[in-house]
Structure 1
Amino acid sequence: MDWANLGFKYTKTDFRYISVWKDGEWDEGILTEDNRLSISEGSTAIHYGQQCFEGLKAYRTKSGDIQLFRPDENSKRLNDSCDRLLMPQISSDKFIDACKQVIKANERFVPPYGSNASLYLRPFVIGVGDNIGVKAAQEYIFCVFCVPVGAYFKGDISPVNFIVSDYDRAASKGTGSVKVGGNYACSFYPNKLAKDRGFADCIYLDPQTHSKIEEVGAANFYAITKENVFITPKSESILPSITKKSLIYIAQNHLNMKVEERDIFIDELSELKEAGACGTAAVITPIGMIEDEGKQYTFNGGEEAGEITKKLYKILTEIQFGDREAPEGWIFKA
């Protein structure tokens, strides 16, 4: 494979894990070569959006080992999503074991150390079975598959530009804080509008006042103030990013920075010297420019990632690829 030019796209790998919940319990689960699911036409996942998913990565270290980055946090977040949609939880042991089985069965797809690529795992839960009423399903499928991936946005650590959207990503008391498909389906149209105008994606504001920054496309937002404070939005309609949680720790404990999780008003943009999008897929993507109502705000000149963003990216990826000692509990050997 051309490891250096993978991008973020689907590749059929050898095996995926599937487990079925029926009669009140999950079965043991199996690995299968079939990448097609056969489900009832009445499945709640199809009609009512009763489904959720996760994203996490496995990394090849310099010694050749393979390690997972904070899968226990993904397990917790998946269960939060399941709770919100009245779907059965998956134990952390089952979740992590499923991920490890998929990694081992597809080891030849784990990119080599030094390629700056990784193995992306996509666990998901869907409501299935013969249903028609608007209610929770009686049967569910838990699946984990994997694909080798490179950078989510073209250019890796190079800055990209965004535009503020007039559309809402999620309601203030809706499902914005959990990882469900509906949050993403509704973003397709605003994303297309942004790309048609030459931007990488759009920035969503809070649904109540349209005055505060919430998310950057499918990623969390962070910024560095001119006083070197790491700031990131705080809202009940933002998905809690595991990458952002890790960056907060790194900023505080490695860079000795002050961190603030708070409202970030759109009219504060001129007071920021660096800005970025962060998430499992995006890792860290520096923001070069944000356009809002025709006005453009540039960060760090718009052509290169800022110094603090570079440091955050370097420390985070060194931990993920095993080049730096990780905080306790962050790394799980596959």
Structure 2
Amino acid sequence: MSAAPKQIPPRAGFEWEKLAFDLYPTSGFAKYVWTAETGEWGPVEWVKEPYLNLHVGNVGLNYGASVFEGLKAFRHADGHIRIFRPKDNAARLNHSADAVSMPALPEELFLEGVHLAVARNGDLVPPHAPNAVNGSLYIRPLMFASGANLILAPPSEFTFIVYVTPTGSLYGAAGTKAPAIDAFVIEKFDRAAPRGNGSAKLAGNYAPTFKHAAAAKKAGYPLTMHLDSATRTYVDEFSTSNFLAIKKQADASQRKTLVVPESESILKSVTTKAIIQIAKDFGWAVERRRVLFQEVKDGLFEEVAACGTAAALTPVRSITYHDSPETTKKVSIGDGENAGPGFLSILTQLTGIQSGVQEDKHDWVWPKAGVDGSV
């Protein structure tokens, strides 16, 4: 019989009530290196300083060969720490890596690196609270082409690291509290081309949205949204997260219907996968299809939400778009102010599973016994 994993208590004196979505000092990060000479990933190295020593000609910085993931660890009521759906992130990392000619990373190495980074920084996992209202430990696996090349070709070295930071909510939503926010449609910039790499979590997919998001935020819109690049008539996703909607019901006797946009340009969110399953568990219908933006304009959705690891499930109360080059129109969703009951029920169940207060029927939390602080 194997020994029980060693518990790691929360750090004493940390001001958990002030936890923001930010980077905090940690005990270090896990690092692996792949070389063409061996054709495989080397053993893990623990790096205490938050820095990397790189050749100026590394392909990651010069040509953008960099991919990443985001997932979270939560403290349960038994004091143990568990991670939400890391195997799904391992699979998506390899999908992204393939898009930019990187070697595949074995799932067991991904899990080893994630477990080690969490275990050695376990004191930065916030204290347990139902529905994770105290926050979580955000985990950032990152793979990039660390070898140098001047020609446009993969180098002979790649690096995979896992670092962490304790975080609060990206948009101010925590646990069962989810203040609805306003979104703005970006129409002068395309996030991903048709048949491009929108479905891969490439570092280069995000930086081009910064200035557009900053301008929207300055105008009062915390969230920005993208339509399809080919016709600009279909909903793709928000800049930080997936788009989800609940259809309006003709009467209360109808089943609720969760609508999930389908597109080759949409990043396949692990959180969205969980929400789809939760909706099915609730007995809702689920429509996975192309979603015309005209459906939003026509007010066919009673609720809309942004969904992702960082965003969690953030209700959207309005979407504003340009109806002409000079003027805009605002579509109010629900009562135009607050989060709706449908997504609040989903959020309560999701964060309940993550924090261990709801049954984990689908084996989403890992490891079952908890992260072992003795590693």
TM-score normalised over the length of structure 1: 0.97
1:256 aligns with 2:283: yes
Corresponding residue number in structure 1 for 2:239: 217
User: Of 211, 234, 237, which aligns to 1:189?
Assistant: 211
Measure, in 1, the Cα distance between the counterparts of 2:277 and 2:344.
16
Measure, in 2, the Cα distance between the counterparts of 1:303 and 1:5.
26
Using the TM superposition, give the Cα deviation of residue 194 of structure 1 relative to its aligned residue in structure 2, in angstroms: 0.9
Q: Is the 8 A contact 1:4 1:117 kept in 2?
A: no
The count of corresponding residues between Structure 1 and Structure 2 is 333
Identity %: 35
User: Of 275, 282, 290, which aligns to 2:319?
Assistant: 290
> Which runs of 4 or more aligned residues in structure 1 lie more than 4 Å from their structure 2 counterparts after TM superposition?
none
Corresponding residue number in structure 1 for 2:358: 324
Corresponding residue number in structure 1 for 2:43: 28
Using the TM superposition, give the Cα deviation of residue 260 of structure 1 relative to its aligned residue in structure 2, in angstroms: 0.4
1:242 aligns with 2:276: no
Q: Is the 8 A contact 1:203 1:217 kept in 2?
A: yes
Q: 1:124 is matched by which residue type in structure 2?
A: L
Corresponding residue number in structure 2 for 1:165: 186
Using the TM superposition, give the Cα deviation of residue 155 of structure 1 relative to its aligned residue in structure 2, in angstroms: 4.5
Corresponding residue number in structure 2 for 1:9: 22
1:281 aligns with 2:310: yes
SS of residue in 2 equivalent to 1:329: coil
SS of residue in 1 equivalent to 2:117: helix
Corresponding residue number in structure 1 for 2:68: 53
Measure, in 2, the Cα distance between the counterparts of 1:329 and 1:137.
38
Q: 1:131 is matched by which residue type in structure 2?
A: N
Q: 1:245 is matched by which residue type in structure 2?
A: K
Measure, in 1, the Cα distance between the counterparts of 2:108 and 2:173.
36
Measure, in 2, the Cα distance between the counterparts of 1:171 and 1:274.
28
Measure, in 2, the Cα distance between the counterparts of 1:134 and 1:87.
14
Measure, in 2, the Cα distance between the counterparts of 1:202 and 1:130.
35
- Determine which structure has more spread, i.e. the larger CA radius of gyration: 2
User: Of 306, 310, 320, which aligns to 2:344?
Assistant: 310
1:44 aligns with 2:52: no
Q: 2:260 is matched by which residue type in structure 1?
A: T
1:66 aligns with 2:94: no
1:97 aligns with 2:115: no
SS of residue in 1 equivalent to 2:184: strand
Over residues 74-110 of structure 1, what are the superposed CA-to-partner deviations in whole Å (9 max), with x where a residue is unaligned?
0000010111111011111110111111111011111
Q: Is the 8 A contact 1:4 1:150 kept in 2?
A: no
Q: Is the 8 A contact 1:7 1:154 kept in 2?
A: no
Using the TM superposition, give the Cα deviation of residue 303 of structure 1 relative to its aligned residue in structure 2, in angstroms: 1.9
Measure, in 1, the Cα distance between the counterparts of 2:116 and 2:217.
38
Measure, in 2, the Cα distance between the counterparts of 1:8 and 1:248.
26
Measure, in 1, the Cα distance between the counterparts of 2:172 and 2:360.
28
SS of residue in 2 equivalent to 1:133: coil
Over residues 41-91 of structure 1, what are the superposed CA-to-partner deviations in whole Å (9 max), with x where a residue is unaligned?
111111110010000000000111100111000000001011111101111
Corresponding residue number in structure 2 for 1:18: 31
Corresponding residue number in structure 1 for 2:138: 120
| CA RMSD between the two structures | 1.1
Deviates more, 1:167-176 or 1:204-213: 167-176
Q: 2:114 is matched by which residue type in structure 1?
A: C
User: Of 75, 79, 85, which aligns to 2:94?
Assistant: 79
Q: Is the 8 A contact 1:11 1:147 kept in 2?
A: yes
Listed as ranges, the gaps of 5+ residues in structure 2 are 1-13, 250-255, 323-327
Q: 2:40 is matched by which residue type in structure 1?
A: E
Measure, in 2, the Cα distance between the counterparts of 1:304 and 1:5.
24
Using the TM superposition, give the Cα deviation of residue 2 of structure 1 relative to its aligned residue in structure 2, in angstroms: 2.1
SS of residue in 2 equivalent to 1:128: coil
